[in-house]
Structure 1
């Protein structure tokens, strides 16, 4: 317990002596933030000063912002807050944890031996990198499967809320400068890395949707059923054939068609018990079924896949681009 001593014969007023001693106790953390100061009665007994004098000292400390009075409880040492740039106050109110996150990140860098200037360079470089990354988002796939790129672009624009550019791998190679982020599926990551490495751009590979529900349907189809797959992506159709064959062997008849191939599409709607399609193909497929409805006994079940890009990949892109 801190003891306060008053020299009655000193030229310094008793109230000033007590004020300075309490200030020192606070400044030296003998009285830490949140500490309850002695009551005026207890301090009067210890120092011999009148309670009114002690009350004036406490009021002086409160005016200086060192302590605060809590009604019915007592006088407490205030937790001193670091004053921030007034321009940051709206941001700190909007993101109350931001200040703490920044301070913790900076402390960790300093503990590793970084100087403040080095830490600033690291933060600035990462922020600049992300700003450049979001300035231009490019989806790239081979020209012969540009449909897959269209699927990706449609979903990314809807999920990210920013413009996304589609560039074939062949055209990407000929671009003189790229200031942004290149996105592709893992099918084409090797080809993309070879091109992007020469242009010093960031590549983010995305995972495609796992088609779990559609696979469950395939497993339930009876032997000798006909399954149709319709897409704007030729690569997706090729992959679908391989997957279905690996699951069911020759038990199912698999028919595939790109949405622009009217002849194959017509054959599918007349033969298949179920047709799986991507979202861009659904309206055309539905119209094709309606057109032949009188010629078939039972219309096929239509299953529209709402996703092509995996949900986790969307979330990763949002974080990497600073969108969420």
Structure 2
């Protein structure tokens, strides 16, 4: 069989699978069984944010990392047990945090409507609240996900790395039924949060045989990053904010990217393809356009379901 035909058939299978799951979810899923579900999760996120400004970025990243491994099934929440090392203990997820927010929301939901709301749905709702409560858009989250029973650290290798080039990003997102448009839009989530030096050190020291520093970086910006992240950095949590408005959800990420002030190689990669570069410019020029696109891509990503078949009573362990 022709190789291109095989690839097209595989892509169609992914898209059809995603489309099926989108239709299986509904914003009204808990209207009769737990009508206060959204409100309860929002309250948990609000309370956590009042004590820790890093919570929104953590919850948004948690949702992304959950959905990219086994679909959005809450498997990222499971604790390692015995000889099984769970996703949260895989190298890309070591810095994930704010799991307690999901635990608190789950506890409140179990008191209100026991055994009804899945942990996977809580993660999706919390990510929406993280964006909305940071000044970004809100949306009606389609619900009805089930929780998965399998979580393996080794599978976190599937997550797109901050060092990925445009071809690797295209493949990673495409395997999950997500387009290059979705890639550009979801990358804008980097408007929230902080990155450790290890995630962008490759651009600051020994970039290649000719250059010490990635030449696409703004020189003064690169110099400031090198000051924070020296070649033999020994400061445990050294790093930099992902954009200049790290606690506000907006389009500053795209503006900084166009100025040569992005952190990750995967961010810079968006400027290496004409189609993605045009989208970066579009969203840098219009926060309203970006917000509309972000809602669509988030709903699409959060509707990638795995093989979850239960509602956990404790988000950290299977029933």
- Same fold, TM exceeding 0.5? no
Greater fraction strand: 1
TM-score, structure 1 as length reference: 0.25
TM-score after normalising by structure 2: 0.25
Higher relative contact order (CA 8 A, sep 6+): 2
Q: Return the index of the structure with the highest Cα Rg.
A: 1
